[in-house]
Amino acid sequence: MTGLAHAHEPAEEGTVVLPDVPVLAERLTAASSEHIIPDKDIQLQPQGRPGNLLRLAPGILSVEHSGGAGKADQYFLRGFDADHGTDIAVFRDGMPVNLRSNAHGQGYTDLNFIIPETIKEVQVYKGPYHVQYGDFDTGAAVEFVTRETVEEGIVQAAGGQFNQQRYMTMFSPTTGKVRTLIAAEGYHMDGPFLSANRYNRFNGLAKATMNPTGRSELSLTGTYYQGRWNASGQVPLQSVNNGQIDRFGSLDPTEGGRTERATAALRYHYDAPGGGRFFADLYGQYYKLDLYSNFTFFLDNPMSGDGIEQNDRRVIYGSDVGYRQAGEVVGIAGAATVGVQTRVDDAQVRLGTQQRRMRLGTTSDSDVLEASYSPYLKLELQPTPWMRLNGGVRGDIFTFDVRNRCATCPRQPHGRTDAAIASTKGNLVLGPWFGTEFFLNFGTGFHSNDARAVVSSSSVQSLPRATAYEVGVRTKQWDRVELLASLWALDLSSELVFAGDAGTTEIRGATRRYGTELGARLQLLDWLSLRGDLTMTHAEFRGTGQAVPLAPELTGQAGLTATLPNGLTSSLQMVHMGRRPAVEDRSVYLKGFTFFDWVNRYRVPVKMERGRLEAFFTIQNLFDAQWRQAQFFYESRVNPTAQAVSDVHFSPGTPRNIMGGIAWVF
């Protein structure tokens, strides 16, 4: 880890201004499954989908959900089909990204508002072992950390197959007392589908960081995102196999949507004399989503079809305020942090029917005011040079307030209720001995359920509890080799979720998950490195032994990267998911997939008066594998006169896709 001591204050007469001093130290981890994804790896990911960044974390995969790039990804990790984010908590500089009681799904996490080049690193924390994370932190928590500045500005343009275009600029107007970062991105893609996606995305970011005093720092960040797209939806496998539609065809080409997100965040800390730090993070968001889907075609309504419309309008605001004190107690070095997190979602969520995006009726329409208040205490102790302890407790108090807006709707959730849950976390780290550390982890966590479901039934668990255990080892006893292994288990008290697609609540019962993660980082030569990860998991309902549908059982990732002295960096990357059960009795399995991406960046040896040129070239799905992204098994009717059939429905994976571009770095 690299830190920097800044000297941004203007010099007073007679004072000596010292230069910035780099401070190097090993980053401390609390679990062997923690991972930090640095910017050098981020730059070697295919452009276009911010969700690709998560594939660098062992055991986490993301795929497009419905044949349209504008919708939130589907996430898989640790035996979870986390849908759009129910069991993975995601943050950007401490600001939560998951959306509670979203019109489309609980914990809906759309990463398309992130410009990858603005990210300094991605921090991945598996399991509910960290006090600072609460709601949705069952399988993992992910933190996207943005840059303060860039040493060199960049303007780039890229294009490729399927009318793919991307334009991006990023620069720092000031780097002195006030450090600033400006970035903007425009993206368009039609995709390989017979009905073009016409996905358009615009992103903007502005950030300013300053030091009001020699002991304090203030950062302000604002972003704006807008996207719209068409989607091919999830097509029945049988219809593709019998030639009724093409693999990249659609039974309802009017699916798709539009979305908008604006955020503002303030981060402040003051370093008090004596090792204390006061910190305050404040944020606000505006969010909008209009989503048009048709999953079952003509199953329920042969006349006008089963198209649904989901609308979400909300503002979100919250904070994380606290104080951390470092020091010694009876000769033991340590630190204590006490804080409180707050969050309010003020939303209007609607579910209705539609045909070709023409509104037909309203199923439910609700005002949702959902708030949480979360005090926490974190302790960090180091009794001996070879032992570290950290952990703590947090409480989460929720209020769910739902008001019905539609007196004639078939569903009218209405009511108010409260819920609370306490969580404990503990992490023991032993070592290092010969470059090797051992980890023991325990924690409880939870994910909240949709407010509409919570107020509609007393049998619904508002805050299902997760209890997790983990043991692991990480070794760097050889200069060019890092190895890690983790064994973990996780119990969830209820798989109950609110199914936004159907507007109903599904109670799935208690589950148990367990598995192992293996990883290696090898520096084969000075210019050649290899990384590889393998995750094996098992997920079942407790008491019955039945499978948890869609839960991944085997995932693997690998990357071989060459950094050559002529300015070329080339990376061959592999992603694998094994087959997985589609239904509880394991009578139907979903097909696995393996694909390779090849990413290249080259520093062009052309002399310029200012700056330099860099070229980049990517081939996604290098060997043109026919793979399936999102997959589900359910009943549908493909036309008004057809028989209803239970079948695998899927979104086809992107075929071989070539994209290249050039960047001016100045």
For position 418, what pLDDT does the model report? 98
As a whole number, mean pLDDT of residues 205-220 equals 98
The amino acid occupying position 119 is: I
pLDDT band at residue 499 using 50, 70 and 90 as cut-offs: low
b/e sequence 350-382, b meaning 16+ C-beta within 10 Å: bbbbbbeeeeeebbbbbebbbbbbbebebbbeb
Task: Note the pLDDT of residue 285.
Answer: 98
What does the alpha-carbon distance between residue 178 and residue 596 come to, in Å, rounded to a whole number?
43
Residue 4 has pLDDT above 50, yes or no: no
Please answer whether residues 341 and 386 qualify as being in contact, where contact means their C-beta atoms are separated by less than 8 angstroms: no
Average pLDDT of the chain, as a whole number: 93
Q: Count of alpha carbons within 13 Å of 364, Cβ hemisphere only?
A: 23
Tens digit of each residue's pLDDT (9 = 90 or more) over 296-339: 999 999 999 999 999 999 999 999 999 999 999 888 999 999 99
CA-to-CA separations, 49 to 206, 216, 602, in angstroms, rounded: 21, 36, 21
Closest C-alpha among 622, 28, 636 to residue 307 = 636
pLDDT in tens, 38-57: 999 999 999 888 888 888 88
- Residue 26 confidence (pLDDT): 66
> What is the predicted pLDDT for the residue at 571?
98
43 vs 186 pLDDT, higher one: 186
Residue 389 near residue 360 (C-beta atoms within 8 A): no
Strand partners, 444: 467
Rounded to the nearest angstrom, the gap between the alpha carbon of residue 510 and the centroid of all alpha carbons in its chain is: 25
485, 454 Cβ separation under 8 angstroms: no
More confident residue, 115 or 7: 115
The owner of tokens 């697609």 is: 501
Domains of the chain from N-terminus onward: 2-665 (2.40.170.20)
Residue 9 pLDDT more than 60? no
Q: What percent of the chain has pLDDT over 70?
A: 95
- Percent above pLDDT 90 for the chain: 88
Q: What is the pLDDT, as a whole number, of residue 10?
A: 45
Name the maximum alpha-carbon separation found in the chain: 90
pLDDT at 504: 57
For residue 18, the model assigns a pLDDT of 57
- Decide if 122 contacts 140 (C-beta within 8 A): no
pLDDT given for residue 154 in this prediction: 98
Distance CA 147, CA 119 (A): 6
Residues 6+ apart with CB under 8 A from 484: 32, 33, 472, 473, 474, 475, 517, 518, 519, 520
Q: Looking at residue 7, what is its pLDDT?
A: 41
Q: What is the DSSP string of 149-180?
A: --SS-EEEEEEETTTEEEEEEEE-S-BSSEEE
Q: What mean pLDDT is predicted for residues 173-188? A: 97
Rounded CA Rg of the chain: 25
pLDDT digits (tens, 9 = 90+) for 403-440: 999 999 999 999 999 999 999 999 999 999 999 999 99
Mean pLDDT of 74-81: 95
CA distance 529 to 246: 40
Mean pLDDT, range 118-140, rounded to an integer: 97
Q: What is residue 71's predicted lDDT score, i.e. its pLDDT?
A: 92
Cβ–Cβ under 8 Å, residues 427 and 32: no
Average pLDDT over residues 161-187: 97
pLDDT tops 90 at residue 15: no
- Environment class of residue 623 by beta-carbon count within 10 Å: exposed (0-12), middle (13-18) or buried (19+)? exposed
- pLDDT tens track for 630-651: 999 999 999 999 999 999 999 9
User: Under a CB-based contact definition with an 8 Å cutoff, are residues 135 and 372 in contact?
Assistant: yes
Q: Select from 222, 224, 216, 249 the least CA-distant residue to 235.
A: 249
Across the range 539-547, mean pLDDT stands at 95
